[in-house]
Amino acid sequence: MESVIEVRGLNKSYKLPSETIDVLKDVNLAVEKDRIYFIKGLSGSGKSTLLRILGAIDTDYSGEIFFDGKNIKKLNKREISLMRQKMIGFVFQDFHLLGKLSALENVVLPALFADRHYKSIRERAQWLLGRLGLEGVASHSVNKLSRGEKQRVAFARALINSPSVVLCDEPTASLDEKNTQILFDLVGELRAEKPFTLIVVVHAVKLKPDYIVRVQDKKVEVTCEV
Ligand SMILES: Nc1ncnc2c1ncn2[C@@H]1O[C@H](COP(=O)(O)OP(=O)(O)OP(=O)(O)O)[C@@H](O)[C@H]1O
Ligand SMILES: [Mg+2]
C-alpha cells in the first residue's frame, strides 16, 4: 500500500530554559493513502505534537518525514507552504482562526493564497458552511461566534482546497452529538466523491477508523481496527 506520509526515527523535544521535555522518541509510522487514522492517548502524551509534525506545521524535530515521497527537511519554507496549501488541511485544537474576519472570509482565505478563481472559492466556502449549519453566521466576525461554531468554521477552512490529507485535532470537542454527526456525514460524503487521508485526534466519535495510532510513553503504536 502506498504511503502518503512516512515517519522515520522521529524524536521531538521541547527545550525550555530550565529543562528539555522529550515528547516523542524514535517514532516510525507509515500513513497509507486515503485511509482513516485515529490518534489516541492521554492528555499531554503528545498527540497534538505528532499531528503538527505530520501536517508539516512543526518542522523542528530530528528524524525524517516524507510527504508524498518528499523529505520535508529538504524543502525550503516556500516549498513547504506550497505543499501545505495544495495537499494539507489542518484543524488546530485551538482553531487559529482570524478573529476579526468573518466566518466566510476565514474559510475563503487559504484558497485565495492557492490562486483559485474567487467565485468558485466563495461558492464552495458558502456550501461548506451551509452543510455545517453555519449559513446564518457566515458574515459574522469569528470573535462573536460560539466555540462550537468556531470549530466548524475551522473544519470548513481545512476542506476548502480539497486537500489529499486532512489532519484534525479533536475536531468535535466543542460539538453536540447532532453537529458531530453532521460533520462526519460531510466527511463521508466528500471522501466518497474524492478520497482523502484523514488523521484525527479523537476521544470518542462514531466514525470507524482503519487504524488507531496510540501515543504512549513517547512511543507510537499502530493497530488495525478492521
Ligand atoms: N510549545 C511547547 N513548549 C513546551 N512544551 C510543550 C509545548 N507544546 C507541548 N508541550 C508539552 O509536550 C507534551 C505533549 O503535549 P501535546 O499538546 O502534544 O499533548 P496532547 O496529547 O495533545 O494533550 P491534550 O490531550 O491535552 O491535547 C506536554 O507535556 C506539553 O506540556
Ligand atoms: Mg492536544
Q: Please tell me the predicted confidence (pLDDT) of residue 204.
A: 60
Q: Please tell me the predicted confidence (pLDDT) of residue 126.
A: 98
Using the mean position of ligand 1's atoms as its centre, give its distance from the Cα of residue 2 in Å. 30
Predicted structure pTM score: 0.92
Q: Is the CB of 127 under 6 A from ligand 1?
A: no
Among protein residues, the one whose CA lies closest to atom 25 of ligand 1: 43
Using the mean position of ligand 2's atoms as its centre, give its distance from the Cα of residue 44 in Å. 7
Taking only Cα atoms into account, the Rg of the chain, rounded to an integer number of angstroms, comes to 17
pLDDT at residue 54 is higher than 60: yes
More confident residue, 207 or 45: 45
Phi-psi domain of 159 (left: phi exceeds 0; alpha: psi -120 through 50; beta: other): alpha
Q: Which three cell numbers stand for residue 86?
A: 495544495
SS3 90: strand
Which of 22-31, 129-138, 205-214 has the least mean pLDDT? 205-214
Q: Is the CB of 43 under 6 A from ligand 1?
A: yes
Among protein residues, the one whose CA lies closest to atom 13 of ligand 1: 44
pLDDT at residue 85 is higher than 60: yes
More confident residue, 110 or 196: 196
Ligand 1 atom at shortest distance from the alpha carbon of 41: 21
Ligand 1 atom at shortest distance from the alpha carbon of 51: 18
pLDDT at residue 226 is higher than 60: no
Query: Which structural domains are found in the chain, ordered by start?
Result: 3-224 (3.40.50.300)
Mean pLDDT of the chain: 93
Q: Please tell me the predicted confidence (pLDDT) of residue 205.
A: 57
Q: Is the CB of 14 under 6 A from ligand 1?
A: yes
